[in-house]
Structure 1
Amino acid sequence: MSSTGSTTGATDRRSWLREHSELGVGVLLLVIGVLVLTDALTMDVDITQRGPVGPTTVPIAVGIGLLVVAVLLAVDVLRGGRGEAEGGEDIDLSEPGDWRTVLLLAGVFLANAVLIGPLGFPISGALLFWGSAYALGSRRIDRDPLIAAVLSVVTYFVFNNLLGVPLPGGPLMGVL
């Protein structure tokens, strides 16, 4: 076989993969579905429960749903189905992605995850809201920290007091 034949085979393989790239999403959904089901089925739960719905019911339903969607997507792609190309009135698809914004937002969310324990939600939430506004382009240093603090404290009170979902208060626990 000549080198041209092996090059053509590799090109055909890449072309097939490019045309069926949505199978990657199906594989990802399949892996997540298996992980969710494995976690749900190996949960250590209290045997005594009230009613037919226990703590594993929703994760099992979500895991099964993920598996079903993964299989349906794979069948559709293998039959020639293709997702519609993304379009938008204010999106220039020829421009590259804004990785700076993505990385800033990822950093802000990671910082929130690290700081919520020691600082509590009111402070880490304010940093989250302010950092997100900054990452998305707002440069109003006079207004953004105040809005972030108000949003954070209101969110803390709504979850903690009205919804009964305790959030870590941190050092401000006694003040608020």
Structure 2
Amino acid sequence: MSNKAVFLDRDGVINVDHAYVHKPEDFEFIAGVFAACRSFQQRGYRLIIVTNQSGIARGYYSEQQFAELTTWMKEQFLQHDVRIDEVYYCPHHPTKGIGDYRQQCGCRKPEPGMLQRGIAAFNLDPEHCVMVGDKHGDIQAAQRCGIGTKVLVRSGQKFDQKAQSDADYTCDALADVPALL
């Protein structure tokens, strides 16, 4: 089995970030996502999604609703001959969370917990892995794990010069990433 993966943030990388997306009818794939992911798989990369989901912490939607959307999303990928190996998510927020969801945790990016879980579960070599995100926190989490290639995409959030300087590459969208690797 492959010991390398492309870690993908979800909102702003895979789908348009319409804020707290939790229903299929609000989920809009960004152009070129399926072709890019197929290209990664053809090159032997696993595909692992790592996503902060503070909407759960804030009470906007439940973990069950997130799970249902994730199942639907993975089915859409399968219809395009792409297999998502795993989806890790953080349901916490340190200040805006409700009840047990209000916590400082090791899984909310920029903390590296979700990436570390994927590295351990799939016996990955971080140096041969890629992180694609739209925020500085995505890049910081990748740095903390020793991820070899860090890519920022402009299809999601705005980011500053520091975020760009910490990334190895900056491009418009996930569709541009295969040409960089």
Higher share of residues assigned helix: 1
- TM-score normalized by the length of structure 2: 0.21
Higher share of residues assigned strand: 2
> Which is higher, the Rg of structure 1 or of structure 2?
1
Between the two structures, name the one with larger relative contact order (CA 8 Å, sep ≥ 6): 2
- TM-score normalized by the length of structure 1: 0.21
